[in-house]
């Protein structure tokens, strides 16, 4: 039986908002297709294996972000995994930590640098439902279904030249409001942007957990991990997921 390894990165510090569920969704959807899928929890202080098939990171508070960034920079395993093209899925604080820098604890903190993005501060906390249409940027080219989640953040994430948004907003704040975007006014990529795509990294502000609310996105990660096209995966008919999406997007 084919085996799939899913890295749950730093759940002890980036597990505040239930984003550990993304790894559970990946494991279950893989097992439903006959794969022997296992989750490898990588805690603060543990080395990050560079040869897992998929990596997931969740959200957390300021202190947690600082600890996570310091560990991931010094360890280097996640960077090597990204350089090898292994899919990485990051949520909220995970998105910010993988960027060039972010604000936490009243100061600017160096990020891991896997995303050409910097996070400053929103004028007002973004909290509520968020939805977008996928841009099809980079490795997300096969996505066709709307994206849905719940945002709760104070970060204004600004994209550099090498990064592209995951989605174009139809609801919510997303990466930044006018206050944050004023630092780089005139860049159309910042307008109505949600999430970041760069290389093998897909990052977003969507909680939910995001992969429970966006099964096509979950399957895209599984397809990338196996080196196949999204269309090659056996479809899964799960009525409860269909109903959930209808409620959240309705």
Write out the binding residues: 125
pLDDT tens by residue, 88-124: 999 999 999 999 999 998 899 999 999 999 999 998 9
Please give the Cα distance from 130 to 140 (Å, whole number).
Answer: 19
- Phi then psi for residue 31, to 5 deg, are -65, -35
Q: Quick one: tokens of 74?
A: 């010094």
pLDDT, residue 147, reads: 98
Please give the Cα distance from 40 to 157 (Å, whole number).
Answer: 29
pTM to 2 decimal places: 0.96
DSSP state, residue 186 = T
Write out the binding residues for substrate: 125
- Give the residue carrying structure tokens 């992969």: 211
- Give the residue carrying structure tokens 């990051």: 90
Candidates 51, 229, 246; CA nearest to 145 is 246
pLDDT, residue 189, reads: 77
pLDDT, residue 1, reads: 59
Which stretches in the chain have pLDDT values below 50? none
pLDDT tens by residue, 163-195: 999 999 999 999 998 766 666 656 777 889 999
DSSP state, residue 192 = T
- Would you give the distance in Å from CA 38 to the centre of its chain? 20
Please give the Cα distance from 75 to 184 (Å, whole number).
Answer: 32
DSSP readout, 16-56?
Answer: TTSTTHHHHHHHHHHHTTT-EEEEEEE-TTS---S--SEEE
pLDDT, residue 2, reads: 74
For the chain, the structural domain boundaries read 3-249
Q: Is 179 a catalytic residue?
A: no
User: Of residues 40, 71, 179, 207, which has the active-site annotation?
Assistant: 207
Q: Is 40 a catalytic residue?
A: no
Whether the link from the prior residue into 160 is cis, omega within 30° of 0, is no
User: Of residues 71, 92, 153, 179, which has the active-site annotation?
Assistant: 92
Level-2 CATH architecture, domain 3-249: 3-Layer(aba) Sandwich (3.40)
């Amino acid at each position: 039986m084919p085996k799939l390894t899913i890295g749950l990165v730093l759940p002890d510090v980036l597990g505040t908002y239930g984003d550990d569920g993304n790894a559970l969704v990946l494991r279950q959807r893989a097992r439903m297709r006959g794969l022997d899928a296992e989750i490898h929890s990588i805690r603060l202080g543990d080395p990050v294996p560079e040869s897992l098939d998929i990596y997931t990171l969740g959200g957390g508070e300021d202190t947690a972000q600082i600890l996570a960034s310091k560990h991931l920079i010094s360890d280097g395993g996640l960077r090597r995994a990204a350089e090898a093209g292994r899919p990485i899925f990051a949520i909220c604080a995970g998105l910010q930590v993988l960027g060039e820098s972010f604000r936490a604890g009243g100061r600017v903190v160096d990020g891991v640098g896997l995303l050409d993005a910097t996070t400053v501060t929103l004028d007002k906390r973004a909290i509520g439902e968020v939805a977008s249409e996928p841009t099809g940027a980079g490795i997300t080219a096969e996505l066709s279904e709307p994206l849905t989640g719940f945002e709760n953040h104070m970060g204004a994430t600004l994209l550099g030249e090498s990064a592209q948004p995951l989605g174009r907003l139809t609801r919510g704040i997303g990466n930044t409001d006018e206050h944050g975007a004023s630092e780089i006014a005139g860049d159309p990529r910042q307008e109505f942007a949600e999430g970041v795509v760069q290389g093998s990294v897909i990052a977003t502000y969507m909680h939910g957990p995001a992969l429970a609310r966006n099964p096509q996105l979950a399957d895209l990660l599984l397809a990338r991990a196996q080196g196949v096209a999204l269309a090659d995966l056996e479809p899964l008919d799960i009525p409860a997921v269909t109903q959930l999406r209808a409620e959240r997007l309705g």
